Amino acid sequence: MSEGYEALRAGAAWLDLSARGRITARGRDRVRLLHNISSNEVKKMTPGNGCYAFLLNQQGRIQADLACCVAKTTS
């Protein structure tokens, strides 16, 4: 077993996800856009929270998995 797997079994682990891509949505329709292209209820999320979801194509087929986070606004 790998060192990382052993650490996870022991109760704690660190996973480097820095190589993954990021999507930043801004503007008036950002919530609607993300809600329509993901498998989770983004419209119900509040600032500071997040969820796991799938990124879907127009046919509803899974294209990728993602962690969706709602940033706290500073304005």
> What span, in angstroms and rounded, lies between the C-alpha atoms of 72 and 66?
19
Name the DSSP letter for residue 28.
T
Q: What is the pLDDT of residues 22-63, one digit of tens each?
A: 888 889 998 899 999 999 998 899 988 999 999 999 999 999
Q: Where are the alpha helices (DSSP H) in the chain?
A: 3-10, 30-37
Entry pTM: 0.66
For residue 28, give both structure tokens. 């008036």
Structure tokens at 45: 């999320």
Number of helices and strands in the chain (H, E): 2, 2
